[in-house]
Amino acid sequence: MDTPLTRKLLAHLRVIYPEADNGPLVEQLIATMALDPASQAPPTHRNLWNQNDVLLITYGNSVVDEGEKPLVTLNKLLTNELDDCLSAVHILPFFPYSSDDGFSVIDYVSVNESLGDWGHVSTIAKRKHLMADLVINHMSSRSAWFENFKRRRDPGKDYFKEASLEDDLSQVVRPRSSPLLTPVQTDDGERMVWCTFSPDQVDLDFGNPQVLVEFVRIIHFYLEQGVRIFRLDAVAYLWKVPGTSCIHLQQTHEVVKLMRTLIEHGYPNAVIITETNVPNRENLTYFGNANEAHVIYNFSLPPLLVHCLLSGSCRHLKTWAMSMPPAQNGTAYLNFIASHDGIGLRPAEDLLSEEELAEFIGTISRSGGMVSYRRKGDEDKPYELNVSLWDALKDTVDGGKSHQQLARFLCAHTIMLGLEGIPAFYIHSLFATENDTQKVALTSRNRSINRHTWSLEALRTALSNGSHHQQAYEALRHLIQTRRAQPAFHPNATQFTLHLGLEVFGFWRQSLDRSQSIFAIHNVSSEVQQVALSTINLVSTDLWFDLITGRHFNDPHAELTLQPYECLWLSNRNFCGQEAPLED
């Protein structure tokens, strides 16, 4: 059948498989997604989010309660403690796995029995918009597919990427320092398989169209279970061609576009997010022309924001903010400060100098953090900082400021919540969890430092006993609930960076209908700062007040005194909006 959908799919496939007869593959993909070939694509440049949207990132077992499955406990947490401050939840890989805390998937269509089952996942999906990982670049060496690869039978015989020691792999970009190729003994001899991340995570070969079909089948299954947001994990490395960098290749981008075409024809309100922890310019390419990822992670924000607060200077954060292009309607940034992995350093390349980077790493190390490395040429380069966000902000580069830790922590989140984009909180940032050094000793993995497991009882105690956990959590709840009511904080609302010196980071947001303005002003230093309101150009006919404290500012020419790390959201209007999360 000749329809707009079939023509669009053929156009994608001609880029991915230029030598193939792609007509039968088009029919197979449409059938696998159970699509009507005559279905129409949704309108372009349509925002599927608004200011109410706030995402939680968590493992399925980050919080546990004795005697019940962790996914049941997570649902209780979402229902009770977090119901009024979140619209969506990203449950990190909840499938059977062999390593990397879930990112070495054994079976894509099963739930790890220790966490629960698909019924538990679907229950959460009915309460919050559910984001799930599509671990698309690689699969566990203990999977049935890889066992079939070794036995030389289908499905799996030709599903994994192979290479030889004679191939030109000198330009391959790696996020790890382990060997790229791993020898594997198969029933017809030794083969060298491509392992971008670890020998247990064998890269899939999308040069085989049946691998693409298998993943489309997985996508359709997830949609049926209630998943509406797809995180394409490590997608930048998807396509490999010896003699190239094997990152961001044209076929990789086209696979993302094809998946979007298939998903939006069947589920027009589903969202694709690409996880590409790379320098900023490379990351931005995954928007395409509003026809690729709906949302991309703002990977440069964590290192620049944390560096800003440790150094007391917003020079680099401000330069970066001014250079960021506004996301087109129908696309958005996902803003976060910390994740389950750590604070990536590659996105700060060419933004921080070598001296600043060394000072940054040294400060984090003094606060108990660690450094993971990647291989570049013949040397290892710092790749990410492994540390909890709470401890990352323990002190400043010049030392002696640990008593201001909570103020720095809240300032970081206030900036993140106000910036253009959708805010996301890693669960251990929301609860101000400390470094888990015992878990690192147990697993011998740096990333375990920020993957603590709370008991529900201990967490509830910590959130009610006056601890820093309670102080941080209650302050963040107030900020989140305040933000969710303001149309000027819509992810696509106008943003301009203000010039208030190096110690004060500020920006202006205006709602899409221009009914509300917010001037977000943040003292990022450990000292008191003065800011003249006249430099902000407040409209004198409006009444201005701070959304955070309710304090009024009637004199547009007055001078503000900002305490260390104090933040203001100066607005001419306040809204008490009803919850309207990501469209269903």
Neighbours of 10 (CB within 10 A): 14
Tokens of 522: 């943040």
CA atoms within 13 A on the CB side of 500: 30
The angle subtended at Cα 357 by Cα 352 and Cα 362, nearest 5°, is 155
Closest CA to 339 of 429, 403, 254: 429
Query: CA–CA distance from 241 to each of 169, 197, 238, 246, 281 (Å)?
Result: 9, 17, 10, 6, 22
Query: CA–CA distance from 114 to each of 77, 94, 96, 218 (Å)?
Result: 18, 9, 9, 21
Q: 209-224 and 250-266 helices cross at what angle (nearest 10)? A: 40
Closest CA to 401 of 565, 566, 314, 526: 526
Burial state string for 25-39 with b = 16 or more CB within 10 A and e = fewer than 16: bbebbbebbebebeb
Backbone region of residue 559 per phi and psi (left: phi > 0; alpha: psi in -120 to 50; beta: other values): beta
> Residues at the annotated binding site for substrate?
100, 138, 231-233, 340-341, 447
CA-CA distance, 453 to 287, in Å (whole number)?
A: 35
Catalytic-labelled residue, pool 133, 205, 233, 391: 233
Strand partners, 162: 193
Structural contact between residues 130 and 89, judged by C-beta atoms closer than 8 angstroms: yes
Active site residue 233: yes
Helices (H), 395-446: 405-418, 427-430, 437-443
Rounded to 5 degrees, φ, ψ at 522 are -140, 120
Establish whether the linkage from the previous residue to 183 is cis, with ω within 30° of 0: no
Annotated catalytic sites, by residue? Answer: 233
